[in-house]
Amino acid sequence: MLIIANWKLNGNWSFNEEYASALSNGLRGVDLTSRQIIICPPSIYLQQMNGLLVDQEIYLGGQDLSDETAGAFTGEISGVMLKEFGCRYVLVGHSERRLKYQESNELIVKKALNAIAAGLKPVVCIGETQEQRQSLQAEKVLSEQMTALIDGLGQQIEQIVLAYEPIWAIGTGQTASALQAQEVHALLRGMLEKVSPLVAQNMQIIYGGSVKAENAEELLRMSDIDGLLVGGASLVVAEFLSICTANRAT
């Protein structure tokens, strides 16, 4: 099970120090064998966080990477650079990147392939807008996003983590109910059957969208939800700790 904190454009030197110390202390003695905790700070703080999170099995992820590997691409960061600074994971195709920076399915596939080539696990985000959901287009949109991934990544799709993040639930306080999320996760898993039953079965499909301590456990109880991607609530260390330690009852 994966619990990923996406800090977005937040954090600063002293916040990070306090956060890392509180997180490490809070997780001391907690059995993390069945779950991985991943923090995605702004990339400029990766080195600092890498130094701070040394005594605990807490991993780092990037929030984005370039679709290029090197050269004249001002402002970009490559997968190899993220890897060098201690990342194991990288978010790809977050809705904020898709919407604000017009990232296409094609670009997202390129980024995911670059991440895999650099030895990172891409956490590829998909999800529908409120408008698409209300006009009953959600399934169509998700299917298009999945088809782009399946066709573009080929067999390498088995290297990714899939994050279902309904855009209407991101940063809005409006969470998909556990049952709504489960239904979509099962649908996505079904779409992966096209690749192979094994890929469908093994794919980690995590949910993101206004996850909080109070709904984490219910979401994690769903059979097709393999983890959580947490934005706003991950910035409050006590709240994030509760999410990290939420039980996955069976």
Active site residues: 94, 165
Q: Is 209 in the site for ligand PEP (CB under 6 A)?
A: yes
Instruction: Output the smallest distance, CB 108 to ligand PEP, in A.
Output: 15
**Window contacting ligand PEP (CB under 6 A); options: 68-76, 176-184, 196-204, 207-215:** 207-215
Please identify which residue in 51, 171, 190, 197 interacts with ligand PEP, judged by CB under 6 A: 171
Nearest to 241 by CA among 28, 91, 78, 98: 28
Phi, then psi, of 226 in degrees rounded to 5: -105, 15
**Window contacting ligand PEP (CB under 6 A); options: 21-29, 114-122, 193-201, 231-239:** 231-239
**Window contacting ligand PEP (CB under 6 A); options: 129-137, 180-188, 191-199, 203-211:** 203-211
Instruction: Report 4-63 residues binding ligand PEP (CB under 6 A).
Output: 6
Instruction: Output the smallest distance, CB 169 to ligand PEP, in A.
Output: 6
Please identify which residue in 120, 232, 237, 241 interacts with ligand PEP, judged by CB under 6 A: 232
Nearest to 11 by CA among 39, 38, 45, 58: 45
Please identify which residue in 210, 222, 227, 245 interacts with ligand PEP, judged by CB under 6 A: 210
Instruction: Output the smallest distance, CB 162 to ligand PEP, in A.
Output: 13
Contacts of residue 249, defined as CB under 8 A and 6 or more positions apart, other chains included, come to 217, 221
Q: Is 170 in the site for ligand PEP (CB under 6 A)?
A: yes
CA distance 138 to 136: 6
Nearer Cβ to ligand PEP (203/213) = 213
Please identify which residue in 64, 128, 165, 226 interacts with ligand PEP, judged by CB under 6 A: 165
Nearer Cβ to ligand PEP (68/212) = 212
**Window contacting ligand PEP (CB under 6 A); options: 9-17, 81-89, 164-172, 180-188:** 164-172
Q: Is 208 in the site for ligand PEP (CB under 6 A)?
A: yes
Q: Is 227 in the site for ligand PEP (CB under 6 A)?
A: no
Nearest to 2 by CA among 39, 27, 56: 39
Tokens matching residue 5: 């904190």
Q: Is 182 in the site for ligand PEP (CB under 6 A)?
A: no
Contact residues: ligand PEP, CB under 6 A: 6, 165, 170-171, 208-211, 229-233
